[in-house]
Amino acid sequence: MATLRLLAVDLGAESGRCMAGDFDGERVTLSEVHRFPNGPVALPDGLHWDVLRLFEELKAGIRRARRLGPPPAAVGLDTWGVDFALLDRRGGLVHNPYHYRDRRTEGMVEEACRRVPREEIFAHTGIQFMPINALYQLLAMVVHRDPGLEIAATFLMIPDLFAYWLTGEVACEFTDATTSQCYDPRARGWATALLERLGIPTHIFPRVIPPATVLGPLRPVVADEVGGTLQVIAPATHDTASAVAAVPAEDPDFAYISSGTWSLVGAELPHPLITPESLAANFTNEGGLGGTFRFLRNVMGLWLLQECRRRWAQEEESLTYERLAEEAASAPPFGALIDPDEERFLRPTDMPARIREYCRETGQRVPQSRGEVVRCVLESLALKYRWVIERLDRLLGRRTHVVHVVGGGSQNAMLCQFTADATGRLVRAGPAEATSLGNILAQAWALGHLSSLRDLRAVVRRSVKEAVYEPRSSEEWEEAYARLRRLLGEA
């Protein structure tokens, strides 16, 4: 086949980028055409996303892609999950979408479970209980009598909002819709009975479309702005769904860690696993490409390191992650540990101070230097990965032998080696650009150039090279894991 150029727009919680992918039928070659920062905007009513600026950056990426090479045939967009926009009956934004770290959801999980038993919420949605989920953001609007909910006519997840602005098509894509905790994966539709019991209006929820759906061409006004038209495709629009699609695994019984701002630790299943045991372990069932489900649990992830660096960069602007890794390598091993998923670490803060505060409160030696703090974060993450993978294995009745680490965190050699050591499992790291690869290849699937998830992963294996980390057994890792379990309230 002639080389097909496609454009992936990947919006993350820290940055966004536009990646061109050239697919020749066997391999994909990626090249970055545009990158830009992202982050919360603090306003008097809380934290928001600046979606208007992000839309301008998206269009700038399309324009640049057209200038730097052959014009792309299509574009697909993926973003983080759980957040949403509300439109009025004319299609206008009701307000700038809230950021999932906004404080308005505090106490909303408890309020939801007061209105509907926890077991019933999980039975309807199969989604883990996290205050950031769209369900609790919507419930906060109900509880606080937010006028925006009264005038809302349409609910769109964030990638669906941008697709609507590009094409005029109103729909929610399956993989991102499932992250909202408003979707029933067994009924294959919105969980309307649950939503009604929580007082959330159900008329606002639009049709749900599968990943790898061609939405149509750019609206004429957008085509004029970017210098020409192209097809818009809904890939797996949740960034983790795109990343997991690009895991270069051949054995179906693999575990993965999609490592970025969040770490998503789990396995791929053909059906959701909604059981009392998965509820007790707080696992989630999110939609994947090709009819699959991502059975996983969230771990706070590299957000901890990002927030530390943000604070330290106020004093040393040129501070890089590479420099922090060098300092961590020089720090003594197995100092203090934290539970990365403590709620105190969820929101923007002076993260080094919060980490030291946690260590002080738990009777540990408080890390002082930057290297000690970073090493504390990385060792704690690796040990929490082990904790999650052990529960994953029990729920699935098997032992996972290989853990695939994809996403930006796959480039953190120290964290990957720690993960192999802590879990006692082989770690295969890469691709770092898994989200963009999965996005590009889902578009190729939508256009008829691939026919299965197996085909897609074969292309990934031909396109990238993984780094392999062998586990190194150590009594010190076992002792550290016992310490982590005590911090988690276990024996």
Residues 137-157: tens digit of each pLDDT? 999 999 999 999 999 999 999
Residue 19, domain extent: 4-239
145 shares a domain with 9: yes
50 shares a domain with 127: yes
Q: What pLDDT was estimated at residue 253?
A: 87
260 shares a domain with 223: no
Which parts of the chain have pLDDT scores under 50? none
Whether 440 is in a domain gets the answer no
In the chain, how many domains are there?
2
For residue 488, give every residue at least 6 positions away whose Cβ sits within 8 Å of its Cβ, in sequence order, or none. 339, 387
Last residue of a domain, one of 239, 256, 278: 239
For residue 72, give every residue at least 6 positions away whose Cβ sits within 8 Å of its Cβ, in sequence order, or none. 5, 6, 7, 20, 62, 65, 66, 230
> How far apart, in whole angstroms, are the C-alpha atoms of residue 117 and residue 136?
14
266 shares a domain with 181: no
360 shares a domain with 466: yes
204 shares a domain with 264: no
H/E stretch holding 11 reads strand 4-11
256 shares a domain with 230: no
Which segments of 69-157 does DSSP mark as H helices, in order? 108-115, 118-125, 134-143, 147-151
178 shares a domain with 267: no
> How far apart, in whole angstroms, are the C-alpha atoms of residue 447 and residue 458?
18
409 shares a domain with 385: yes
Whether 265 is in a domain gets the answer yes
For residue 201, give every residue at least 6 positions away whose Cβ sits within 8 Å of its Cβ, in sequence order, or none. 149, 152, 195
Whether 366 is in a domain gets the answer yes
Whether 115 is in a domain gets the answer yes
Whether 443 is in a domain gets the answer no
Candidates 239, 339, 341, 421; catalytic one: 239
Q: What pLDDT was estimated at residue 14?
A: 86
Q: What pLDDT was estimated at residue 251?
A: 84
Query: Could you tell me how many residues make up the chain?
Result: 491
Q: What pLDDT was estimated at residue 252?
A: 83
268 shares a domain with 160: no
Whether 198 is in a domain gets the answer yes
For the domain that residue 267 is a member of, what is the CATH number? 3.30.420.40
Q: What pLDDT was estimated at residue 473?
A: 79
251 shares a domain with 235: no
> How far apart, in whole angstroms, are the C-alpha atoms of residue 30 and residue 461?
14
Catalytic residue check, 239: yes
The pTM of this model reads 0.94
Q: What pLDDT was estimated at residue 1?
A: 77
Identify residue 10 by its one-letter amino acid code.
D
Whether 116 is in a domain gets the answer yes
Last residue of a domain, one of 239, 257, 285: 239
310 shares a domain with 211: no
Whether 74 is in a domain gets the answer yes
Q: What pLDDT was estimated at residue 238?
A: 98
Last residue of a domain, one of 220, 239, 258: 239
Q: What pLDDT was estimated at residue 491?
A: 65
